[in-house]
């Protein structure tokens, strides 16, 4: 959704740049091309304006612009994906509102100490299909961040209440979040299947880790505690629970 909005706004700004350059260079917009940080006349590369020069005119010299062009190089765009449908009246069909989520595969290898309840990561791997990869570094950051969120859901984050219904852990001293010491070193890989419904084929990325990690860790801990017949049905999974499960069988 964001990529569509950014692409739409950028296209509007690009068109305005061409209009201004066309006016200043006194040529048709069809005869212009974007080259090396500027706009030049096709076949006459010496006739060129840099983007800085065009921006200076757009923001500082209103009288140098075409009469029907406003100052500035700003644009606003909203992307409406083509598959939107409304929910049915009886809500049996909730409609389509986000049809290009990413796909992901996670696997966690863990070791559980039944004496202390300590969980150790031996390996953690994640393969995501977020469509076309535009910026690998920020995409990996989204995947890691989503996984850390999922790790918090699986092992740490929980509201605790007293008998009067008041929250007992109302600050981060008692509401536990995963720290850098708790996060496993991750192996990350990508499978690219571009979405046909978005500019550049981009799909979502951060959601995968947030949703997969609790399920993956629940299954891994269950597998590690298989001799004790443990079945995990709630989150978070605490060290105290692990010790209790192991000692009660």
Burial class (CB in 10 A: 0-12, 13-18, 19+), 9: middle
CA distance 15 to 38: 13
Question: Any idea which architecture 2-64 has in CATH?
Answer: 2-Layer Sandwich (3.30)
Q: Can you give the pLDDT at residue 101?
A: 79
| Confidence label for 99 from pLDDT (cuts 50, 70 and 90) | low
> Residue 88 above 90 pLDDT?
yes
Who contacts 221 (Cβ-Cβ below 8 Å, separation ≥6)?
110, 112, 119, 230, 232, 237, 242
From-to residues of CATH 3.30.365.10 in the chain: 2-64, 103-247
Continuous segment of H or E residues that includes residue 129: strand 119-129
Buried b / exposed e along 13-34 (16+ C-beta atoms within 10 A): eeebbbbbbbbbbeeeeeebee
pLDDT at 61: 93
What topology does CATH give the domain 103-247?
Answer: Aldehyde Oxidoreductase; domain 4 (3.30.365)
10-24, 72-86, 132-146: range with lowest mean pLDDT: 72-86
- Judge whether residue 208 has pLDDT over 90: no
State residue 28's pLDDT score: 95
Query: What pLDDT is attached to residue 100?
Result: 73
Whether residue 145 is preceded by a cis peptide bond, meaning omega within 30 degrees of 0, is no
Q: Quick one: CA dihedral 197, 200, 206, 209, positive or negative?
A: positive
In the predicted model, is pLDDT for residue 248 greater than 90? no
């Amino acid at each position: 959704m964001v990529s569509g909005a950014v692409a739409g706004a950028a296209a509007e700004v690009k068109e305005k740049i061409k209009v201004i350059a066309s006016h200043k260079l006194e040529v048709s917009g069809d005869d212009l091309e974007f080259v090396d940080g500027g706009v030049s006349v096709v076949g006459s590369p010496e006739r060129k304006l840099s983007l800085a020069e065009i921006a200076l005119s757009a923001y500082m010299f209103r009288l140098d612009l075409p009469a029907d062009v406003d100052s500035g190089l700003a644009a606003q765009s909203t992307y409406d994906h083509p598959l939107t449908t409304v929910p049915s009246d009886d809500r049996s069909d909730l409609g389509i509102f986000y049809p290009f989520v990413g796909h992901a595969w996670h696997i966690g290898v863990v070791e559980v100490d039944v004496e202390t309840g300590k969980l150790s990561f031996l390996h953690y791997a994640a393969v995501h299909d977020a469509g076309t990869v535009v910026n690998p570094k920020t995409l990996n950051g989204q995947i890691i961040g989503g996984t850390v969120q999922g790790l918090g859901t699986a092992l740490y984050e929980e509201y605790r209440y007293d008998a009067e219904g008041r929250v007992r852990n109302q600050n981060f001293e008692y509401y536990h979040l995963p720290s850098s010491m708790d996060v496993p070193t991750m192996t990350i890989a990508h499978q690219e299947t571009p979405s046909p419904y978005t500019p550049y084929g981009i799909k979502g990325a951060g959601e995968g880790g947030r949703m997969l990690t609790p399920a993956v860790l629940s299954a891994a801990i269950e597998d590690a505690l298989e001799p004790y017949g443990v079945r995990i049905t709630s989150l978070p999974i605490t060290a105290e629970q692990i010790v209790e499960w192991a000692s009660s069988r």
